[in-house]
Amino acid sequence: MTLPAYDLTGRTALVTGAAGGIGRATAQLLARAGAAVHCVDRDAEGVEETAALVTADGGTAHPRTTDVTDPAAVRDAVEAAARTGGALHIAAAVAGIMHRSTVLETEEADLDRVLDVNFKGVLRTCQAAARSMIGTGTRGSIVTMASGAVDAAAPGLLCYSAAKAAVVQLTRTLATEAGAHGIRVNCVAPGWIRTPMTERNSADEQRQTEAAMARTSPLGRVGEPEEIAQAVLHFATDASAFTTGQILRPNGGVAMPW
C-alpha cells in the first residue's frame, strides 16, 4: 500500500541523469510511487536500460537521449514530457559530472565544462520545468542535486563545488520566485554514494576512499543510490507540501565530507 501523501499516480516526472547511479534509482523509485517517468540522459543505451528496468517493475517510462548542455534539447524534453502526460508535475535535475584539478592547474575550459553541465544544465532544466508548470497551472515540484562538497573545501574540487554551490543558490532563488505559482524547489546534497561516478576510481583507490569516507560517518558506511532517491521522492510528493527552498543532506551524518 502506498501512503496517500507519497502516491504519485497520475503524475508526470522528468529525471535527468537517468542512465545510471542516483538518476536511475530516482527514476525507478518515482515510477514505483506511480509517476510516469521521462528518463533523460546523454547516454542513449543507459536511458533505454533504465526505462526497461522501470517497465519490468510494472512502471511507466519514456527514455529520451538529451544532453543538458543543449538548451533547445532540454526544452524539447520537458515539453514532450508535459505533452505526453498533460502536464509536468515533477522535475529532478540529477545529471552531473565530476572533475578534479587544483586551483593552480584549473584551465578556463575545465571550469566552463563543469559549469555547463553541473550548473547551467540544472538551470536549463529548472527554467524549462518551471515555465511548463506555470503554463499549465501545475503546482509542481522541482528537485536539484548538489553535493556535500558545498559544505566543505577539498583539494581539487574547486570547479565541482563551485558549480554545486551555484545549484544551491539557484534552488533557493527559484523557490522564492516560483512559490507564488505553488511550485516548490528543493535540493538534495548527498554524501559519498556508491555509483558509476565514484566507481570510476581504480578498485584499490575506491576501496580506500570508501573506507575513509565510512570512518567519517556516524553510520560507518557510504550510501547507496536508492537512499538518495528516497530524499528526491520526499521532495517530489505531497509529503513535503509545505517545504521549499530547502537542502536535505543524506550523508550518513558526515559533518565535513572532505
Q: Which residues are catalytic?
A: 160
Sign of the alpha-carbon dihedral angle for 42, 59, 144, 22: negative
94 binds ligand NAD (CB under 6 A): yes
Q: Using the rule CB under 6 A, is 198 a contact of ligand NAD?
A: yes
Give the number of other CB atoms < 10 A from CB of residue 70. 15
Distance CA 173, CA 245 (A): 8
When the beta carbons of 111 and 134 are compared against ligand NAD, the nearer one is 111
In angstroms, what is the minimal distance from the CB of 187 to ligand NAD?
11
For residue 252, state whether it binds ligand NAD (rule: CB under 6 A): no
Q: Which residues are paired to 90 by β-bridges?
A: 13, 141
- Which of left, alpha, beta for 182 (phi over 0: left; psi -120 to 50: alpha)? left
Task: Give the number of residues in contact with ligand NAD, rule: CB under 6 A.
Answer: 29
- Amino acid in position 230: Q
Is 63 an interacting residue with respect to ligand NAD (CB under 6 A)? Answer: no
Interface with ligand NAD includes 67 (CB under 6 A)?
A: yes
Say if strands 141-145 and 184-188 run parallel, antiparallel, or are unpaired.
parallel
CB of 202: closest distance to ligand NAD in angstroms?
A: 16
Beta-strand ranges (E) seen in the chain are: 12-16, 36-41, 60-65, 90-93, 141-145, 184-188, 247-248
Q: Interface with ligand NAD includes 232 (CB under 6 A)? A: no
175-194 footprint of ligand NAD as x/- string (CB under 6 A)? ---------------x-xx-
250 binds ligand NAD, rule: CB under 6 A: no
Residues that bind ligand NAD (CB under 6 A): 16-17, 19-23, 41-43, 46, 67-69, 94-97, 117, 121, 145, 147, 190, 192-193, 195-198
